[in-house]
C-alpha cells in the first residue's frame, strides 16, 4: 500500500516536469462525507461537513493550498458501550454526544498536465481542533454518574489522497476527491477509567474550484 502510494506520487512528479498548464490562483469549496476509522471507530456515525480554502500555483503543475474545514460526527451509543466492554469496562453509558473536527491544513498537490480532466495527488499536514460534546449518564452498576462534557482539544494530523478536476467552464472545475487523514489519538470521553478516543478519518468530497490566471 505504501509502496504503491509513493509510486503514484513519483509518477505525478514526472508528469509535472512536462507541464502545459496555465498557472494561477483561486478558491475552492467542498462538501465532505467523513467516515471514522482507526481506534474506537465504531463509536462515531458517519459525518458531514465542508472544506474551503485558497490555492496558488507555485509551478505549472504544483499547487500549494490553505484549507479550513468543519466536520461533525454524532456518537453511536451502542458502539460506545461495545467499545467500553472491549476495554473491560463495567456498567453502561447512555449519552447524546458529538465530535466536531475543525482542521487547518497546508496542502501540496501535484497535478497531471493537460487542458481537459486532470488528476492530482495530495499531501497535507496541519492541526485538527476537536470539539467534543457529551451529555448523559454512566451506570456503573451501583448508581448513576452524570456526564456533562464540552471540551476543545487540538492534535496534529496529516493526509494523503487524490482527486480529479473536471472542467465546467474556463474558470471553474468540478473537484471529486478522497482523503485519508491520520490524526494523533485524542480522548473523546473517559468513563470509569476507560478512555474513548478519536483518530483517523476517510473523507469523500465533491466541490468547485474557481481559477484566476496569473
Please report, in tens digits, the pLDDT of each residue of the chain (214 residues total).
444 544 455 444 444 444 445 688 999 999 999 999 988 899 999 999 999 999 999 998 999 999 999 999 999 999 999 988 888 877 889 999 999 999 999 999 999 987 789 999 999 999 999 999 999 999 988 888 899 999 999 999 999 999 999 999 989 999 999 999 999 888 888 887 788 898 899 999 999 999 998 7
- Which of 6, 2, 13, 22 lies closest to 165 in space, CA to CA? 22
Residue 125: predicted pLDDT: 96
Q: Where would I find the H helices in the chain?
A: 2-16, 77-86
List all residues 6 or more positions away from 212 whose beta carbon is below 8 Å from its beta carbon.
Answer: 24, 25, 26, 171
For 27-213, CATH gives 2.40.160.20
- Contact call for residues 135 and 148 (beta carbons, < 8 A): yes
Contact 121, 9 (CB under 8 A): yes
Q: What angle do CA 181, 52, 9 make, to 5 degrees?
A: 45
Give the pLDDT score at 21: 54
Can you give the pTM of this predicted structure?
A: 0.83
Amino acid at each position: 500500500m505504501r509502496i504503491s502510494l509513493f509510486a503514484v506520487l513519483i509518477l505525478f512528479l514526472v508528469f509535472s516536469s512536462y507541464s502545459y498548464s496555465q498557472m494561477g490562483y483561486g478558491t475552492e469549496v467542498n462538501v465532505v462525507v467523513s467516515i471514522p476509522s482507526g481506534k474506537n471507530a465504531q463509536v462515531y456515525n458517519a459525518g458531514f461537513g465542508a472544506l474551503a480554502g485558497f490555492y496558488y500555483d507555485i509551478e505549472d503543475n504544483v499547487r500549494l493550498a490553505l484549507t479550513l474545514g468543519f466536520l461533525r460526527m454524532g456518537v453511536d451509543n451502542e458502539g460506545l458501550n461495545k467499545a467500553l466492554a472491549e476495554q473491560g469496562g463495567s456498567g453502561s453509558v447512555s449519552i447524546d454526544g458529538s465530535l466536531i473536527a475543525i482542521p487547518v491544513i497546508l496542502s501540496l498537490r501535484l497535478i497531471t498536465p493537460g487542458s481537459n480532466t486532470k488528476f492530482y495527488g495530495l499531501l497535507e499536514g496541519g492541526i485538527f481542533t476537536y470539539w467534543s460534546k457529551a451529555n448523559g449518564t454512566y451506570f456503573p452498576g451501583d448508581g448513576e454518574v452524570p456526564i456533562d462534557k464540552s471540551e476543545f482539544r487540538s492534535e496534529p494530523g496529516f493526509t494523503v489522497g487524490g482527486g480529479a478536476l473536471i472542467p465546467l467552464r474556463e474558470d471553474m472545475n468540478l473537484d471529486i476527491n478522497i482523503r485519508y487523514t491520520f490524526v494523533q489519538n485524542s480522548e473523546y470521553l473517559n468513563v470509569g477509567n476507560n478512555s474513548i478516543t478519536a483518530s483517523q478519518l476517510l473523507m469523500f468530497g465533491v466541490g468547485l474550484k474557481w481559477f484566476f490566471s496569473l
